[in-house]
Amino acid sequence: LNGAGADRVPLETVFGTAIAHEVTNLVLPTEFGDRSAWELTAEHEQISTIRSAFRFKIYCCDSDDTGAFQDAVIAEQKQQWHSLIVDHVLDVLQNPQPEGIDKQDWPIKVWYDGSELETVEVLQTLMSDVMLAVGSMCFVLVYMTFHTRSVFLSLFGLLVICVSIPFSYVFFLALSHSQTVSIASFLSVFLIVGLGADVVFVYTDCWKRSEEMDIT
């Protein structure tokens, strides 16, 4: 049962082995968990989904090791796990179809979950969207230059807009005493460009109008 056999294993053997190892509730839908191997074989066409689970037990350290040593080993193992997910696992899960076949045409749909998978996917999506924000910044820079007629004001204004993001993080850290920021906080990257440009336009227009005013 290692997948290297030349012949198909009878369904009775497959289901019987799953029952013997008490993994039917893990690999089959819940409504089939209490069936016998013969019942599962007779109703196998009704089973539209199956599930796989991979669990890893990796040696870390002994109880008499120092806390610093334990923390260092755990940090290294987390980094190795992250590299495994990013470099090898996630792409296969996101694109399970064979080469040359479109994902939408592949009849097998893969749903997955696991440690750090959601976080890694959110960060990947965020980074791809940040590139769109960079493109919008370039457009804003061009328009600010056209509107203010000053390259210096445009570059300095865009710099102030970008600096406001890390400054707000430091301000948040000082008030909340927390070093953790939610993913939703990064949505401000897309808002701050438009809002910051609007502030720059308001100040530059007010300055130009003040030159025209005759205050005596």
- The tens digit of pLDDT for each residue in 45-89 reads 888 888 888 888 888 888 888 889 989 999 999 999 889 888 988
175-184: pLDDT as tens digits? 877 777 676 6
Question: What does the longest C-alpha to C-alpha distance in the chain come to?
Answer: 100
Residue 5 lies in a domain: no
Please tell me whether residues 21 and 63 are part of one structural domain: yes
111-121: pLDDT as tens digits? 888 888 888 88
Place of tokens 């301000």: 171
92-142: pLDDT as tens digits? 888 888 888 888 888 888 888 888 888 888 888 877 777 777 888 888 888
Please tell me whether residues 147 and 105 are part of one structural domain: no
Residue 83 lies in a domain: yes
Residue 6 lies in a domain: no
Residue 2 lies in a domain: no
Please tell me whether residues 63 and 26 are part of one structural domain: yes
The Cα–Cα gap between 89 and 86 comes to 6
Please tell me whether residues 103 and 155 are part of one structural domain: no
Please, is 73 exposed, middle or buried when counting C-beta atoms within 10 Å of its C-beta (0-12, 13-18, 19+)? middle
Provide the pLDDT for residue 216: 59
Task: Return the structure tokens found at 50.
Answer: 């199956």
Residue 153 lies in a domain: yes
The Cα–Cα gap between 9 and 178 comes to 55
Please, is 154 exposed, middle or buried when counting C-beta atoms within 10 Å of its C-beta (0-12, 13-18, 19+)? buried
Residue 3 lies in a domain: no
Q: State how many domains the chain has.
A: 2
Task: Return the structure tokens found at 140.
Answer: 């804003």
Neighbours of 126 (CB within 10 A): 14
φ and ψ at residue 166, rounded to 5 degrees: -65, -30
Residue 4 lies in a domain: no
The Cα–Cα gap between 198 and 200 comes to 5
What is the domain range of residue 102? 11-112
| Best CA proximity match to 144, nearest among 163, 133, 158 | 158
Last residue of a domain, one of 112, 129, 151: 112
Please tell me whether residues 125 and 100 are part of one structural domain: no
Please tell me whether residues 75 and 106 are part of one structural domain: yes
Task: Return the structure tokens found at 51.
Answer: 């599930």
Last residue of a domain, one of 57, 81, 112: 112
Please tell me whether residues 57 and 104 are part of one structural domain: yes
Please tell me whether residues 63 and 99 are part of one structural domain: yes
Please tell me whether residues 159 and 202 are part of one structural domain: yes
Residue 18 lies in a domain: yes
Last residue of a domain, one of 78, 112, 146: 112
